[in-house]
Amino acid sequence: MEQQWADRTVGELAAADHRFAGVFHAHGIDFCCGGKKSVSAACEKAGVPVEKVGQELEAVVQTSRGTGTPDVRSWRPGFLAEYIVEVHHRYVRETSPALAQFSEKVARVHGQTHPETVDVYRLTMEMLNELSSHMAKEEGMLFPYVRSLDQSMSQGGVRPSAPFGSAKNPILMMESEHDHVGNLLRELRSVTSGFVPPPDACNSYRFLYGTLAEFEADLHQHIHLENNILFPRAIELEASLGS
């Protein structure tokens, strides 16, 4: 039964049902930046038996019979862009000050006995700075254009003009930046042994690692919504409006 899942892409499945994304996240499978990989290829890279993942995906389907699961793919692109800003961009901005503060504090206090905390501080700050610049570009350039496309389509209008030519141009940039942030997250997970604090960790240390784990989960969903749903929909919408 699990074979039916092997050749489908993880991004396609995560877009179809957020609970599939939960299965992938639980096994350390990248469904956002690595969303174009097949389930079998993603499982091989993560070192997880594809049979086990297939069984868990099938279990999600069986337990959801007759229940109503919101289909994010049915949301209008303009609404989805607003949702990403209000939920995920806001979360990043609200969480970033604490991550910056505690990563610096833990590195300063524990850097001698736990030198990996210095790397955690460096990687965290690089990630936060990258995200700050990235979100500003999305909110100031790409997302307003997506809303304009959506509005033009609903009103039977023509394709709006854009200083960057086609939506494909900023989307390529955004996807490249997503890849960079994804690599930083993977490094953070590696140097923290999966965000597991050592036995002698103080409360600040534990808070930092717990918040990083939560931040990772939210960012995976955040990037997934953009890479696998919003960006393809924007390109399709632009094409349908013509030149």
| The pLDDT value given to residue 211 | 93
- List pLDDT tens digits, range 175-207: 999 999 999 999 999 999 999 999 999 999 999
Taking the C-alpha atoms of residue 112 and residue 205, their distance in angstroms, rounded to an integer, is 14
Residue 53 contacts residue 23 (beta carbons within 8 Å): yes
Residue 234 contacts residue 146 (beta carbons within 8 Å): yes
Within 13 A of 87's CA, how many CA atoms are on the CB side? 13
Architecture of domain 3-63: Orthogonal Bundle (1.10)
The structure tokens 């394709």 sit at 159
Residue 69 contacts residue 17 (beta carbons within 8 Å): yes
Q: How far is CA 184 from CA 47, 129, 216, in A?
A: 20, 12, 10
| The pLDDT value given to residue 18 | 63
Q: How far is CA 240 from CA 106, 149, 226, 234, in A?
A: 52, 10, 20, 10
The tokens describing 163, both together, are 């200083």
Residue 58 contacts residue 2 (beta carbons within 8 Å): yes
Taking the C-alpha atoms of residue 98 and residue 103, their distance in angstroms, rounded to an integer, is 8
Domain segments of the chain: what residues?
3-63, 73-240
| The pLDDT value given to residue 1 | 40
The structure tokens 């890479």 sit at 227
Taking the C-alpha atoms of residue 9 and residue 16, their distance in angstroms, rounded to an integer, is 11
In the chain, which stretches have pLDDT less than 50? 1, 65-67
The structure tokens 């079998």 sit at 40
Taking the C-alpha atoms of residue 149 and residue 155, their distance in angstroms, rounded to an integer, is 10
pTM: 0.77
Taking the CA atoms of the chain, what radius of gyration do you get in angstroms? 20
